[in-house]
Amino acid sequence: MAKAPTIITASTTVDGRVEGSEDVEIYGAVRGAIRLVGDLYVDGEARVDAEVEVTSVAIHGILVGNVQASDSIEIFGSARVVGDLTAPRVVLHDGALYRGTIDMGEAPDEGADRGTRGASRPAPARSAPARPAPSRPAPPPARPAPPPRKEAPPPEPAVEDEDGEDDDDEPALPDAAGKKKVQVKKRK
Amino acid sequence: MANTVIGSSIVIDGEISGDEPVIVQGTVKGRIAVSESVYVENAGTLEADVEGDSVEIGGTVTGNVTARTRVEIKAEGKMVGDVKSPRILIADGALFKGNIDMDVER
């Protein structure tokens, strides 16, 4: 237990499968699949594009893929997650961006109901996972919430915005560089 | 958190790339290509081609190793494969089978 966990550092990319029976911390990127008997930590700067099967996972960064945990899945406020989640305990914190389906197993009283629920949208009976979902598209008066996040609904538009900014910057840069070069030549 | 660590029970099937040191205590199958050092510790097993700045082998490596500065196969190390690096050390007790190429510029 005193042993250091497996760590994928910020500038490191793993392309393929990660398997084992210990805790893993990801600060960099993993693409492929992660299967652990152990806890997974996805840092705020990390990016994971993988099918994930673990004991528990704490997500602070970006995760795209389906996640299955035998214990718990916790998505923190800084996280952006796209994919279906399956775990007996799922925690979605305020500010987290999430798109997908959450399955916390059957409620104790309605085992027979499961078939229909699995096929269609989750029944409103399940309040815990359902609550964050409707509150996002329709801005509710109940939650004052951070304004910038409200304007950009799912993760993708935000990424496009970033690209747009880059595009705006890039045309400007060559002009500036060009002017500088001209000046240097003149001086020489 | 400067080092990527692959713990002893971990198996990675694929490619690891980046520019921070990698310490392998578990198993990696595939490829490791980093700009920093790679350490294969005693319990570590590689079935992979390795590219790194320097590569230190205390475990078992099957695959080709290319290092910009040096490769060291320690006394506990076992390696099958070709080594390419300007400096290569093989300690007494190490097992090695393969080709050695020290004719590398830089």
Total Cβ atoms within 10 A of residue B81: 18
CA distance A182 to B23: 49
Nearest to A38 by CA among A55, A53, A25: A55
Q: Share the mean pLDDT of chain B.
A: 92
CB-CB under 8 Å, B17 with A10: no
Dig out the tokens for B6 from the structure. 């692959």
What's the pTM value of the predicted model, to 2 decimals? Answer: 0.64
User: Which of the residue ranges A128-137, B28-37, B94-103 would you say has the lowest mean pLDDT?
Assistant: A128-137
Q: What is the pLDDT of residue A53?
A: 96
The predicted structure's pLDDT at residue A105: 81
**How far away is chain B from the Cα of A31, in angstroms, using its nearest Cα?**
10
Residue of B nearest to A30 (CA): B16
Judge: A7–B1 Cβ closer than 8 Å, yes or no: yes
Instruction: Tell whether the model's pLDDT for residue B45 goes beyond 90.
Output: yes
Distance CA A48, CA A18 (A): 12
* DSSP single-letter state for residue B89: E
ipTM here? 0.76
Query: If you average pLDDT over residues A75-83, what whole number do you get?
Result: 94
Q: Which of A1, A3, A7 to mutate to test the interface with B (most CBs of B within 10 A)?
A: A7
**Cα–Cα distance for residue pair A129/B100, rounded to 1 Å:** 59
- State the first-to-last Cα distance of chain B, in angstroms, to the nearest integer: 29
The count of other CB atoms within 10 Å of the CB of residue A56 is 18
Structure tokens at A101: 């389906």
Which residues in A lie closer than 8 A to residue B4 (C-beta atoms)?
A: 7-9, 12, 28
Report the C-alpha gap between A58 and A36 in whole angstroms.
Answer: 13
CB-based contact B36:B20 (threshold 8 Å): yes
A4 contacts in B (CB within 8 Å)?
Answer: 5, 7
